[in-house]
Amino acid sequence: MARFSQRITGAIKLDVATYEEVEADRTALTQAMAVVVLSSLALSVGAGFQGPGVVTRLIGTLVGALVGWFIMAGLTYFIGTRILPSPQTQADWGQLLRTTGFASAPGILRFAGIIPFLRELVLLVSGIWMLVAFVIAVRQALDYDSTGRAIAVCSIGFLVNVLLTLVLVILLS
């Protein structure tokens, strides 16, 4: 088994073998969760959270990241295995959790947003990088031959997530 730091580096490099490795390693869920937590903390630091309420915003970002990760992995699992499976698709929710958790690894670079004149650029580039990593994670976890199918699954999952969020906001207001 690769060391945690090697897996993070591989995930940041968009190394397909790293995503295959964490997909197969049932013990990597804790590591995947740690990547999501590190990425969330990096966002908090890189976005310049400070002043009154910083602890509340930090906790909110962390909880939001973890809940969002679980929801997106579940949506992706359902869409990828029930709506858009390929003939070779064999996956479980744990595989999606592990691979998509590691897809948050480029978000760790958001710590660099602490440099004020780089903040927006760092947040934009890391966000795009994480989207690409998410597509790779989904492609590997769902055993797709086609990146296009993985993009379709991610796009549908994103739209469903946005709709669910809107409904929740409306219900809570």
Would you state the structure tokens that stand for residue 15, as one six-digit string?
A: 């190394």
| Spacing of C-alpha 15 from chain mean position | 15
pLDDT beneath 50: ranges in the chain: none
Give Cβ neighbours of residue 108 (< 8 Å, ≥ 6 apart): 8, 12, 35, 38, 39, 42
According to the model, what pLDDT value does residue 165 have? 86
- Cα separations (Å) of 77 from 14, 102, 123, 172? 20, 16, 27, 27
Q: Is the pTM of this model over 0.95?
A: no
Q: What is the DSSP letter of 26?
A: G
According to the model, what pLDDT value does residue 47 have? 79
Give Cβ neighbours of residue 81 (< 8 Å, ≥ 6 apart): 89, 91, 142
Residue 61 corresponds to which amino acid?
A: T
- Cα separations (Å) of 34 from 116, 129, 156, 159, 162? 26, 18, 26, 26, 25
Residues 125 and 100: their CA atoms lie apart, in Å, by 18
According to the model, what pLDDT value does residue 1 have? 54
According to the model, what pLDDT value does residue 39 have? 97
